[in-house]
Amino acid sequence: CEHSRFSLERAKVQSASKEEGYDDMDWTSDVETYPPWLRFHLGISRWELYNRKDPNLAQLTHYLATQRILGAVQKTGGTQLKLLISFPNHGQALLKPMKQSRDTETDVNLFYFSDFERHNAEISAFHLDRLLGFNRIPPVVGRLMNVTADIREKTTDHKVSRTFFTSPAGNVCFYGQCEYYCSTEHPVCGRPHLLEVSLAAILPDLSLAPRRSWRSPWRRSYSRTKLAQWEKNPNYCDSVKQTPPYSQGTRLVDLIDMAVLDFLMSNMDRHHYETFEKFGNETFLLHLDNGRAFGRHSQDEPSILAPLQQCCRIRRSTLLRLRLLALPDFRLSDVMRESLAQDPLADAAPLLSEAHLSALDRRLAAVLQVVHTCQEKHTDVIHDDLDRYDQDSLTDRNTKQ
């Protein structure tokens, strides 16, 4: 597995260490002396963000859940409120706050682009992505924070600090400044001070590891009246398959992996995706920004599977994993329930309701049915990626001998 060699701007970190509150930097050439966030950065490879067997994953999520908060500022970009949290060991995390109860279903009359972002959706998406064997979502963990001590008293951002107020119920609230739902009518409130949030590990700085943003060919119109081209043309995939980078390599099946993930968690808000520039076109897609997933459990959205339905291509490794998770002994809802129970917020209440977990099983059966229908019509449905992994393993063994 080819590991990225993201440059470490040691001088910048040394400068930051002199600022009040930061830990002294006592790192050596030994990777074991690096904080978990830096080991996570250095472990990113061409094909995944992290190795599922990497012991640093547990250390990273533990650090996100327990490290002392040093600072909190509003993150620019996006449409809803999110904060950038700083820790004493020079690490950072992206915070999304709890905006509604976990069991609240998205209003059927609400367009997908007007939906709330959910903290438990970000947490659940990370677990689902990992169980599917993708490893393309940065680690996310839930945390119970004190709105006053961890945000109000730590922020230096006036866009945040000037919006704090005490609600009629005596809860400490704030709303920041953003495109949607940043107002006194849609505040983020503690109870009275405690607030559930999701904290996601931050990717390497763009100056060290530039990323490219790609417009998804199956992007929705984000209009109340217009349909996208793929919604009107059932043969739309024919033109996509002739267009670089989808005309060669693994990009098309990468996109179909992402569609499967999005369908399982009912995420309609996938307009762009990103890749690391260092790896060119032969690399994985980052599955970022999943806050609008898991909004509805009572109904499915078949159009999310359009890439699979129209292209009739899927990775062998993905199909094998899906079939495994459809077996009674490895049922997706059961392994998700068990995985989510490890999150700190699960002590208060399950991250996903039983209705959402049942929906995962129902949607998994629907994905397998689409694949079956494709196989009845085409002979080239399966993209055999396991040969590459066998060759990579053989190369690694020969190198070590």
* C-alpha to C-alpha distance for 47 and 52, rounded to whole angstroms: 12
| 203 labeled binding residue | yes
Give exposure, 269-280, as e/b (b: 16+ Cβ within 10 Å). bbeebebbeebe
* Residue 289 is labelled as binding a ligand: yes
φ/ψ of residue 200, rounded to 5: -110, 140
Question: Could you tell me where the DSSP H helices lie in 18-88?
Answer: 36-42, 56-66
User: If phi over 0 gives left and psi between -120 and 50 gives alpha, with beta otherwise, what is residue 356?
Assistant: alpha
Kind and range of the H or E run holding 368? helix 354-377
Q: How far apart are CA 92 and CA 94, in angstroms?
A: 7
Cβ-contact 284, 356 below 8 angstroms: no
Among candidates 48, 264, 262, which has minimal Cα distance to 135? 48
Q: Nearest Cα to 364, choosing from 396, 333, 401, 329? A: 333
User: b/e per residue, 291-311, with b = 16+ CB within 10 A?
Assistant: bbbbbbbeebeeebbbbbbbb
**Phi and psi (nearest 5°) for 39?**
-65, -35
User: Is 15 exposed, middle or buried (CB count within 10 Å of its CB: 0-12, 13-18, 19+)?
Assistant: exposed
Helices (H) and strands (E) in the chain, counts: 13, 12
Q: Is 80 annotated as a binding residue?
A: yes
Q: Which of 157, 257, 262, 269 is catalytic?
A: 269
Residue 319 annotated as part of some ligand binding site = no
CA pair distance 126, 128, nearest whole angstrom = 6
274 is in an annotated binding site: yes
Q: Is 117 annotated among the ligand-binding residues?
A: yes
Is residue 269 among the annotated active site residues? yes
The CB-side HSE value for 266 (13 A sphere, CA atoms) comes to 23
Give the Å distances, CA to CA, from 97 to 7, 68, 121, 168: 32, 18, 11, 20
Binding-site residue set for ATP: 80, 96, 117, 200-203, 274, 289
Binding-site residue set for Mn(2+): 117, 289
Q: Kindly list the catalytic residues.
A: 269
